[in-house]
Structure 1
Amino acid sequence: MFKPCVMIPVYDHEHAIGDVVDAVLAHGLPCMLVDDGSKPSCARVLDQLAAAHPGTVVLVRHAVNQGKGAAVLTGFHSAAQAGYTHLLQVDADGQHNTGDIPRFVALARLHPHAVIAGCPVYDQSVPKLRLYARYLTHVWIWINTLSFAIRDSMCGFRVYPVAPVVALASRCSLGKRMNFDSEVLVRLFWDEVQVVNLPTRVTYPSDGVSHFMAFRDNVLISRMHTVLFFGMLIRLPKLLARKWRAA
């Protein structure tokens, strides 16, 4: 059985989320909105979207902000309870090219046990500092997996098989904020879940809202890389054996 759902974590993106939801629904997929403690003006927009599309748009809500990772994990548990087999994650700010949703879904159907990970193709709107800073994370991900299988661990446009993520979250504590996207891919890779990379256009709207907190999130990401590095050392024999089998 292949039963996908689109999940969008939302925190104060009331100006963009309506267009994102409309674009998702144009592809005939059900949509789950996870409100991560948004302010009242955004909460009202989300209530209106759910009311306008009963049965197609489902709204799940955190009473207070817990972080993007926590919102995504809430989406996974809700999806599992609803019987969905795959979760297509899209960011709420309009950066992702929702026209590529059919490509992601088709690849997920072809590789149902894999993560289909978006690999960003940027235009001139991308801030150069962010672009260059991403490579620091790329290098650590390649070190912590002993592999180039994950081309970009930070893009939030991806399809997950639900069961492996729920199982992973039940046995270890995953990052609850901006450290989630990278950590979950590395740990799924360690669990021998295949990662299929799919190039996709990503833009940065001039009026985009970023919730990246430079000090807090950089500390969390640095800590994540450190923990993953020691986790890689523990798994080193297994990872090396896996490389030799694939050679």
Structure 2
Amino acid sequence: MTQLDTNEQRAEESVVSVEKSAIKLSSETQLVQIKLRTTAENPVRATLTDPIPDTHAVKLDDGTAYTDGVLTFDQTVQPGEVRRIDYPLVGPTATSLSASTIESVTRVDSESPLSIAWTGNDGSTAMPAVAAENGETASLLAAPETAVNTADAMQGAAIGVILTTDNEDAVVRTVLRARRNGLQVFATTQGVEADAEALDLLETLGTPVLSPPSKWASQLELHRLLSRAARERGLSGIVLQTRDCPRIDYDRTATAFAVSDYEVIAIPELWNQSPENPSVVVGIPAYNAAESIATVVESAFPFAEDVLVVDDGSHDATADCAREAGATVVTHERNRGYGGALKTLFREADDLGAAHLVIIDADGQHDPGDIPALIETQCRDDADIVIGSRYVGERRTKIPVARSLGLAVINNLTNASMGKLRPSGFIRDTQSGYRAYSRAAIRSLATDSSIGNNMGASTDILYHAHRARLSVAEVPTTISYDVENASSQGSLSHGLDLIRNIFWTVEYGRPLLILGLPGAIMTLLGVAISVLLVVQYVETDTLAAIPLATSILFALGGLLVCVTSLMMHVLNGHPTLKGLRDEDNS
């Protein structure tokens, strides 16, 4: 991606000059820029013709192409200003650009909008639409159905992009499409050298590039930088592009922007590529959540084709509120627990053929605005399960102390029970309910009856993923514990739940590892200390009775733990116990 200096032309007609140049975007695409200036003391209206040969085509976002003909521009030029017209040209980039010609210049008293006409050599005519002008220096060709409503909905907003060495072309495309929609763009960099050609190209396109806090600043830090720049300039909000910079679905993003506080993650067009089956389904387990469920459903809808709510035997109007908000509601006649609601969501999403299922809580603790980041990671890394984690990246979640201590214990136990003993392989947040599941994971989990009905289901799912060799990834997210309708469960109650989860991990996880290994260590230590004390008695004729008795009891206790773990291991594999467990979880 380099800027071309070839075929830069100047033509004089009366008091108006025209300069034509091109920027190479890819091997067959370039951005043509036509700049108009006047030396007159008053505004003038210039008519400019620009031939397009049959070897090239002006191709717009909707697929419309203009080739083998002439574009005619009527543009008002103010004294001392530069008016620029950009359009994408597809064809051999090595071919010299055709010359643009000033056909006429007339004096005018006021500003008039740019108009564009197309005349084909075959006699065809068209009036390509014009996007909103960006300041005083550029007007862009746009697709005939350029989203005027989108521009209105996001009036005064900006697009924020992060330039990396892997997404240069995608960033340029994002900048061009944003400007065609009349939106300002801010950029910053991650891992890019200061003299990179891409930075010069962004500057040429009129995009401010903000200096990052450091060369390898985190995505969260860079998003904060972009958001701060938009606030300082008095803009109404900012749409933050994801790392890969896919094409933005402006209609859906505008809907999400309308209900956001200030920032929103861009929703990509690729989510709409499967007309038969929904791409993204948001699932919400809900129990007595009438006060919050409508708000959660409405905030999730811009990011999903469908929102599924499982009313888990609520005693209030949860189901009615969810339906009124537009959700598809499945009702349990009795309360089956968090895990029971999750299993219903997996089955429903499987029946729908959803490509992605994202689970969020009904109390508003999870931010649906992070859904694009979860889905992008799932697609880019081919991850079957993506967890919105409180413990990766720059942590902003303020976790209550008691909950934090309990989570630390259960996180370590869960990882150990799956044989993840190296920190590099740890799942940092095993208890986060904010997760995205791929089609393969949905299909696999929908038929697993071993997933429990209680809060331990979060751990059950990770065990299932471990057994089925489903890949797991984590992305940073922030969970709000101070939302108005958050769970009222106290620290003591939550601690007891965590203890139950720990016992469940021991019982249904890997007892040989969780109990057997510590038991073996206890036995060896007890035996070793006992032997040392006996040797000391033989050599000195002095018996340390209490330490010796303690070490013997310690060894016997370790041996008992080893035997218990072996019995649990055998029982867990017994067909009768498996049948009872499956019946309990059904």
Corresponding residue SS for 1:152: coil
2-side partners of 1:38 and 1:231: how far apart?
Answer: 40
Alpha-carbon offset, residue 28 of structure 1:
4.3
2-side partners of 1:69 and 1:18: how far apart?
Answer: 22
* Correspondent of 1:228 among 502, 509, 526: 509
Deviates more, 1:113-122 or 1:160-169: 160-169
1-side partners of 2:348 and 2:301: how far apart?
Answer: 19
Corresponding residue SS for 1:205: coil
Alpha-carbon offset, residue 122 of structure 1:
4.4
Alpha-carbon offset, residue 79 of structure 1:
0.9
* Correspondent of 1:118 among 384, 388, 391: 388
1-side partners of 2:367 and 2:299: how far apart?
Answer: 9
Which position in structure 2 is the counterpart of 1:156? 433
Counterpart code for 2:417: N
Alpha-carbon offset, residue 162 of structure 1:
4.1
* Alignment partner of 1:179 is 2:456: yes
Alpha-carbon offset, residue 156 of structure 1:
0.6
Contact 2:357 2:438 in 1 (8 A): yes
Counterpart code for 1:205: D
CA 219–175 in structure 1, closer or farther in 2 if over 3 Å, else same? farther
Q: Cα RMSD over matched residues?
A: 2.5
2-side partners of 1:215 and 1:28: how far apart?
Answer: 34
Contact 2:384 2:438 in 1 (8 A): yes
Structure 1 segments of 4 or more deviating over 6 A? Answer: none
Which position in structure 1 is the counterpart of 2:480? 203
> Would you tell me which structure has more strand in proportion to its own residues?
2
* Alignment partner of 1:10 is 2:286: yes
Contact 2:367 2:478 in 1 (8 A): yes
Alpha-carbon offset, residue 63 of structure 1:
0.8
Deviates more, 1:67-76 or 1:219-228: 219-228
Counterpart code for 1:117: I
Contact 2:396 2:478 in 1 (8 A): yes
CA 211–48 in structure 1, closer or farther in 2 if over 3 Å, else same? farther
CA 30–111 in structure 1, closer or farther in 2 if over 3 Å, else same? farther
Corresponding residue SS for 2:303: coil
TM-score (norm 1): 0.81
Corresponding residue SS for 1:40: coil
Which position in structure 1 is the counterpart of 2:350? 80
Q: Map of 1:45-124 to 2, 5 A cutoff?
A: 45-49=321-325, 53=326, 57-120=327-390, 121-124=395-398
Alpha-carbon offset, residue 163 of structure 1:
3.6
Which position in structure 2 is the counterpart of 1:236? none
CA deviation string 1:8-39 (max 9, x = no partner): 11111122212211111122432111111111
CA 177–122 in structure 1, closer or farther in 2 if over 3 Å, else same? farther
Contact 1:177 1:217 in 2 (8 A): no
Contact 2:280 2:304 in 1 (8 A): no
Q: Map of 1:123-162 to 2, 5 A cutoff?
A: 123-124=397-398, 126-147=399-420, 148-162=425-439
2-side partners of 1:112 and 1:181: how far apart?
Answer: 21
Contact 2:374 2:436 in 1 (8 A): yes
Which position in structure 1 is the counterpart of 2:154? none
Relative contact order, CA 8 A, sep 6+: which one is greater?
1
Give the number of aligned pairs: 226
Question: What are structure 1's unaligned runs of at least 5 residues?
Answer: 234-247
2-side partners of 1:114 and 1:154: how far apart?
Answer: 17
Counterpart code for 1:123: T
Deviates more, 1:91-100 or 1:198-207: 198-207
1-side partners of 2:449 and 2:329: how far apart?
Answer: 26
Which position in structure 2 is the counterpart of 1:241? none
CA 98–231 in structure 1, closer or farther in 2 if over 3 Å, else same? farther
CA 43–20 in structure 1, closer or farther in 2 if over 3 Å, else same? same
Corresponding residue SS for 1:201: coil
Corresponding residue SS for 2:511: helix
Which position in structure 2 is the counterpart of 1:217? 497
- Percent same amino acid among aligned pairs? 25
2-side partners of 1:40 and 1:14: how far apart?
Answer: 6
Contact 2:303 2:372 in 1 (8 A): yes
Deviates more, 1:161-170 or 1:133-142: 161-170
2-side partners of 1:110 and 1:228: how far apart?
Answer: 31
Alpha-carbon offset, residue 157 of structure 1:
0.5
* Correspondent of 2:315 among 36, 39, 64: 39
Alpha-carbon offset, residue 112 of structure 1:
4.1
Which position in structure 1 is the counterpart of 2:526? none
CA 119–223 in structure 1, closer or farther in 2 if over 3 Å, else same? same
> Would you tell me which structure has more helix in proportion to its own residues?
1
1-side partners of 2:475 and 2:445: how far apart?
Answer: 23
Deviates more, 1:190-199 or 1:207-216: 207-216
